[in-house]
Structures are given as structure tokens and as C-alpha cells.
Amino acid sequence: MNQPLILIIEDEESLRRFLIPTLSGHQYQVLSAATAHEGLAMARTHNPDLVLLDLGLPDQDGMAVLKDIRSWSRKPVVILSARNQERDKVLALDQGADDYLAKPFGAGELLARIRVALRHTLRAEVPEPIVSCGGLRIDLERREISLDGQSVKLTALEYRLLEALVRRQGKVATHSQLLAEVWGPGGEGNTHYLRIYMAMLRKKLEADPTRPKHFITEPNVGYRLILEAPGD
């Protein structure tokens, strides 16, 4: 397989200096741009497999760059954002970004996110029928869920929520995305429904609901289903 091409749009030179060698060292081809204008031009000419996009760019809002890319490409975009910018992150995710990384982040975290995002493009949104991790086994085809070999019964809504999370496995899912998928249009305001159902899922599917291994909360953003052992 070809080495995937990653475009970095980031104005901070120090970050570029860290990102470029790290990614090249892990079998990725790397392009980088320091401004939104330059980045968009490169994206159009090279059609990269993934874009790492900083939201705070000097010449144009990162959000505008995201919209532009989404108008012609479905390739994954991972947002680089500062801390305490939950609103921006949620906005970007709801505008079609695939995931985000909060600065400062480590190389391990960066590579994991890129791996998950690229895997989703390859699979083209069709989830594997059976996923499992640790004692948890989810069979979407036969609608069977088990924890440590014990079959677990889920209500219809719990199941739909689980399904939505499995489809995005490893990626963050915002509150509004999950609400729209599980409750349909009009469910947007009922974030607490989502939280309650999430708590039920954790009670049924986590060994210790106060220390979730799979159903991870991204505070004020959404949830992330992790179905791989750490370090995998």
C-alpha cells in the first residue's frame, strides 16, 4: 500500500518541527503549510489522505478552511486545538471534522488518532460485524452483546446508541451527532437523555462504571468508544 499523504496546516513553526519528523518517521508522506491560503491550495493540488488542521490560523479562521475542504472532499480532517476551546471543537466536529487533538499532545496520541481516522476512510463507514476488546464482545449482525461471556440484554435505545458508537469506534462522537442518530431530528436539546443512556450502557458493559475502559467521556464534547487495549 502507498504511504498515506498527510497535510499539516499549522502556523506555529515549533509544532511543525515536531510533527513533520514524527510523521515521516512513521511511514507517512508529509506536506506542510503555515497559512490557510497555502494549505487550501496544497489540499486542492495534492488531495491528501488526511489533513491536520490548526483552528487558530493567522490569515483565515480554521473553521472556514474546514468548510472549504468539506465542500469537495470526504477525506478525514483532524483538528488541532488549544485547551478550553470545547465550543470550537464541538463546532468543528459538527461541521464535519473527524476528530481533534488538544494541545499539548504526545506523539503516541497523535499517531493513534491518525490511525483511527485513516482506518475509517478505508472501511468507508461500514462497521465490522463483530468487535471485541477485553471481556466485551459486540456482534452487530446478530445483535448479541456479551461481557465476560455473559450475554447482556440492552433496550432498543441502548442498542441504537451502542451501534452509533461502534460505527465511530475510536473517533469522538459529539453529543449532537449521537442525539441526531439515536433520537432522530428534534432530539438535540436532550443531552441529558444521552447522558442517562450512556450511564446505563456503562453499568451494563463496563466492569467498573466509574472507571470506564470503553465508553470514554470527552467532557463538554461527546463520547469516544475505545475498543482496543492501550498501547495497541
Query: Using CB under 8 A, which of the segments 3-11, 61-69, 79-87, 93-101 binds another protein?
Result: 79-87
Q: Please select the residue that binds another protein; options are 111, 193, 204, 207, rule is CB under 8 A.
A: 193
Query: Using CB under 8 A, which of the segments 13-21, 36-44, 48-56, 191-199 binds another protein?
Result: 191-199
Which residue has 440484554 as its cell numbers?
A: 153
Cis ω before 209 (30° cut-off from 0) = no
Q: Provide the minimum distance between the beta carbon of 34 and another protein in the complex, in angstroms, as a whole number.
A: 23
What lies within 8 Å, CB to CB, of 179 at 6+ separation is 187, 188, 190, 191, 193, 194
Minimum CB distance to another protein smaller for 5 or for 180: 180
Q: Provide the minimum distance between the beta carbon of 90 and another protein in the complex, in angstroms, as a whole number.
A: 11
Helices (H), ranges, 25-167: 36-46, 62-70, 86-94, 107-123, 156-167
Q: Provide the minimum distance between the beta carbon of 202 and another protein in the complex, in angstroms, as a whole number.
A: 7
- Count of residues near another protein by CB under 8 A: 27
| C-alpha to C-alpha distance for 97 and 154, rounded to whole angstroms | 30
Q: Dihedral angle at the C-alpha atoms of 217, 223, 224, 230, nearest 10 degrees?
A: 0
Q: Please select the residue that binds another protein; options are 219, 229, 231, 232, rule is CB under 8 A.
A: 219
Minimum CB distance to another protein smaller for 159 or for 193: 193
Cα dist. 221→72, 84, 101, 123, 132 in Å?
26, 11, 12, 25, 25
C-alpha cell at 21: 519528523
Work out whether 192 is an interface residue with another protein (CB under 8 A).
yes
Q: Pattern of binders to another protein over 93-122, x per CB under 8 A?
A: -----------x------------------
For residue 196, give the H/E element and its range.
helix 191-205
Burial string for 24-51 (b: 16+ CB within 10 Å, else e) reads: eeeebebbbbbbbeebbebbeeeebbbb
Minimum CB distance to another protein smaller for 4 or for 212: 212
Minimum CB distance to another protein smaller for 184 or for 219: 219
Helix (H/G/I), strand (E/B), else coil: 187 = coil
What lies within 8 Å, CB to CB, of 232 at 6+ separation is none
Q: Provide the minimum distance between the beta carbon of 145 and another protein in the complex, in angstroms, as a whole number.
A: 19
Q: Provide the minimum distance between the beta carbon of 225 and another protein in the complex, in angstroms, as a whole number.
A: 13
Judged by CB under 8 A, the chain residues 150 through 179 that form the site for another protein are 155, 157
> Which residues are at the interface with another protein (CB under 8 A)?
83-84, 86, 104, 155, 157, 190-193, 195-200, 202, 209-212, 216-220, 230
